[in-house]
A = this chain, B = another copy of it.
Amino acid sequence: MYSQSMYQLGSKRSVIRETFEYGRKRKAEIGADKVFDFSLGNPSVRPPEIVNKLLKEIIDEMEPTALHGYTSAPGDPATRQAVCDSLNRRFKAGLTPDFIYMTCGAAASLSCCISALCCKGDEFIALAPYFAEYKVFTEAAGGKFRVAMPDPDTFQIDIKNLRKEICKKTKAVILNSPNNPAGVVYSEKTIKKVCKLLKDRSEKYGHPIYLIADEPYREIVFDKTKVPFLINYYDNTLVCYSYSKSLSLPGERIGYVAVSPKAEDAKGLYAAVMGAGRALGYVCAPSLFQKLVARLPEVTSDISVYKKNRDILLGGLESFGYICVPPQGAFYLFVKALEPDAYAFCEKAKKYELLLVPGDDFGCPGYVRIAYCVSTAQIENSLPAFKKLIEEYKNDRS
């Protein structure tokens, strides 16, 4: 009959989705303001006002068949030029539009890159904690998925662990910074070490080990943290980007892949990414939103809300005694569960209407993810619940 592996993927709800659905039901029972749902990475900050204004302007100005018609498969030329100009202006990336491939968001970008790279027997290494879909995309492309565990204190990359995972079969390392779920930004020092290791091993094995940079949170950083632009550090890099988080447009599915022009046989690599897009059923990225992002490549939603949320949440939780990974970016806080089993901890948190997600799905058991892309009021109102939760654990121990 049908494919059992696809059935499993479609029928097994992720813990995130399950928690979210539980939250919906619970809100209907006791009122939305009484449930502290931190399960989903759905931006709460509105898209910048200019988004809707520009959408309407574009609709009014453009000839309708040109506006809504197919763009070329890699994307509208003006959009690719705008993306390229922005990356060059910000990072001196040395890109040309020929290395920009517009996609239906970061998931599509990742899926196309992994399919473009994967040959029989290849392995892909994710740096934990990692976005669970990396495993899905890798296995769908026929690759083997491996995980390198992080430094358990900082959640930065542990080079020693990464070194152990790399072998002759390694095709690529997937790196996500600012990180979902830990909120850390990998430092330039760490990045340099990773790149050195990959370069050495590429030479040793006689084939490139690629770096796939998953960067939907690039613009969501606090305290002037710098996010190194990996094309400038490592030649065989593919950058996967999405406007979902920066412009609060996750439902509209618009992003891109930028292939480093310095990659080995960069043009061939780019063609393989395009070919993978074709094979997976992607025709072009949504046309209206291609036109939109061409006009505002460097605008973002109001990031200061996420910083404010982080400060209140981190300050509150640490003052109660929680052990947190201080986030420098994205909108997630990774917190040590108060018992070894994060699932059990999340169940207990539900008693206080706190909906958290166990770190197990991100490759880091014993931790939970708090998605703080919610209203600041929800953060403030949830603090007493977090306090009661830790007190229950303290009382149990005494």
Interface residues of A (CB under 8 A from B): 1-11, 40, 42-47, 51-52, 55-56, 59-60, 64-65, 67-71, 104-105, 107-112, 115-119, 133, 136-137, 139-140, 207-208, 248-253, 264-265, 268-290
Contact = CB atoms under 8 A, between A and B. Distances in A.
A207 B2 CA distance: 10
27 contacts: A1-B208, A1-B268, A1-B269, A2-B268, A2-B272, A3-B117, A6-B275, A9-B276, A10-B273, A10-B275, A11-B275, A42-B70, A51-B64, A56-B56, A64-B248, A68-B249, A68-B252, A71-B251, A107-B281, A108-B281, A139-B279, A140-B279, A140-B280, A251-B290, A252-B288, A253-B253, A286-B286
A8 B278 CA distance: 11
Contacts of A47: 64-65, 68
Contacts of A264: 1
Closest 4 CB pairs of A and B: A111-B281, A10-B275, A251-B287, A9-B275
A56 B65 CA distance: 17
Nearest to A10: B275
Given A46-B65, A65-B47, A268 B119 contact: no
Contacts of A45: 65
A270 B9 CA distance: 11
Contact of A10 (B6, B140, B253, B271): B271
Nearest to A283: B107
Contacts of A279: 5-6, 9, 136-137, 139-140
B59 A42 contact: no
B284 A7 contact: no
Contacts of A109: 281
Contacts of A69: 42-43, 248, 250-251
A137 B252 CA distance: 24
Contact of A286 (B2, B252, B276, B283): B252
Nearest to A287: B251
A5 B272 CA distance: 8
Contacts of A6: 115-116, 272-273, 275-276, 279
A107 B271 CA distance: 19
Most buried by B among A8, A44, A251: A251
